[in-house]
Amino acid sequence: MDRMFRVVVACLLFAWPALATAQPGPETPSFLVGACTHFSQGKGIVELNIDSIKGAGIDAIRDEVGWGSIEREKGQLVMPERFDKYVRQAAAQGLHVLLILDYANRFYDDGDRPRSPEAIEGFCRYAEFVVRHFGDDVRLYEVWNEWDIGIGLPERHRKGGSPADYVKLLKAVYPRIKAAYPDAIVMAGGSTSGGVKRGWLEGIVKLGALDHCDAISIHSYNYNDKFPQRGPEACSAWMTDVQAMLARYNDGADVPFYVTEMGWPTHVTKGGTDPELSASYLARLYLLARTSPAFKGLWWYDFQDDGWNPKYNEDNFGLVRPDLTPKPAYHVLADISELLGAGHYINSLTTDDEHLRGLHFDRDGRDCWMLWSADDQDRQVVLKAEHPGGMLRIQQVGYDPYVTRWGFRAWADRRAEFVPDRLAFVVGHRPVMISGDLSGVAIADVVGRSRQDEEEK
C-alpha cells in the first residue's frame, strides 16, 4: 500500500500534460518516434496492434506497399484491400505512416531492380499511383529498402546494387512523387549499416542523390559487434559522423536524417541482448538522437516479434511478443516517448566520470535530466543544490517513479553527517529521469557501485 501511495503522489505532483495525438497531414513533429510493422505481409491484428503501438507513445509506423502486389497484371495498378486497410486505420488513429516504395516486379527486367527505361517508367507509375491513392493519409515515403544488398529480390538477383543504378531510379521517381503530392517527404538511401560503412551511401551522394530527395535514411544495426562498439553510444557517434559526411556534400548545411530500422534483438544465441539491456539501449539511442537537430526520426525494428524461437534473431526484434505481451523495451519507450516528441534538448551534462552520460531537456517548462552509465556499470550519483527545498521526481525508466526531498547521509560510513543540500541515487545501464526544479543543481560526485568495484576493494 505504501508503494502504491508513493506512485500516486508522484503522478499527482509531477504529471505532465499529455501530448496531443498527432494528426496526419502536411505537418509532422520535429522528431518521429517510430516502429516498423509488417501489416503488408499479414502480420498481426491491425486494430489490436495499433492500440498497443499508441500505448507505447509511438507516433509513426513504417511498412510497405510492394510494387509486385499492386501491379499483378502488367499495366494495371490496383491497391490491395489489406494495404488500404492498415494505412487508413493507422492514419485515422493519428499515426504518421512511412511507406517504402520497393522491390521488383516480375514483368520488368526479369524481376530484378528496375534499371531499364521500361522498368524505371513502370516503377514511377506505381509510385505515382500509391502517392495519389493515399493522398493526405501518407506524407512519408522511402525509395526502396536496402538496395545495397538485394533483399526482397528473387534469389538469382540477390546481390548488391550499384549506387549509380539507384540514383538513376531516384532521379526519375522523385519529381513524379512530388508532382503527385508536393508535401511528400521523400527519403533516399534506406541502406544497411554495412552499406554505409563500405561507402555505398556516400556513393549515391557523390552522384547527386541530395538533389533528388528531401531526406536521407539509413539502417544502423550494430548488435553483432563487440562491446562497446555494439552499444548505443558508439552507434550514436557513428551516426553523427554520417550526418557530418552528408553536410559536407550540402555546403555545410544539415541534411534531414532518419534511421528507419534499428534494434537490439533479444534472442539467446550469438548477437542477442538481454531484454532488460535491450530496453536500456533503446532508451539511450532515442535520447541521444534528440541531441542532433538534423535527426528527424527513428523507427525501432520492429514492433512485434515474428515468432517464438528464442534462438532465432528474426523472431526477437519486437517491443512486444507475438501475442502482444509487452517486453521491457515497450515500457521504457512508453516512459520516454513524450519527452522525445515534445521535449527540447538543452545540453549535455559534464562530469569527471567519462562513463556517466547525462542529457538536459526542457519539457513543458520543467527541467528534465536523463542519466545513465555508458559502460553499463552501476554508479552512485550525488547531486548538490544551491537552494534545496523542492521535491524531485526520480524514475528509472520502465519502472515506477518516486518523489523525494533533499538530504543525504552516507550512513554506511557510520560517522557521516546529514547533508541537507545533497541527494543521491544509483544509475546503471537503464537511464534515470530526474525532473522538477533543477536550477542551481549540479552533479557533486560520482562513485562506482558495481559488484566488481566492491570486490576489487
DSSP 101-126: E----TTSGGGS-S-SHHHHHHHHHH
Q: Is the pLDDT of residue 275 over 50?
A: yes
Strand extents, DSSP E, 220-355: 257-262, 295-300, 344-349
pLDDT confidence band for 169 (50 / 70 / 90): very high
Break the chain into its structural domains and give their ranges: 20-344, 347-456
Q: For residue 426, which phi and psi values (nearest 5 degrees)?
A: -105, 135
Q: Is the peptide bond before 148 cis (omega within 30 degrees of 0)?
A: no
- Tell me the C-alpha distance between 121 and 148, whole Å: 21
pLDDT confidence band for 365 (50 / 70 / 90): confident
Assign domain 20-344 one CATH number from 3.40.50.11540, 3.20.20.140, 3.40.30.10, 3.20.20.80.
Answer: 3.20.20.80
Fold of 347-456: Immunoglobulin-like (2.60.40)
Cell 544539415 belongs to residue: 254
Tell me how many degrees the CA angle 6-433-348 measures, rounded to the nearest 5.
160
- Tell me the C-alpha distance between 432 and 7, whole Å: 16
Q: What is the predicted pLDDT for the residue at 449? A: 86
Q: Is the pLDDT of residue 109 over 80?
A: yes
Q: Is the pLDDT of residue 21 over 70?
A: no
| pLDDT, mean of residues 297-307 | 98
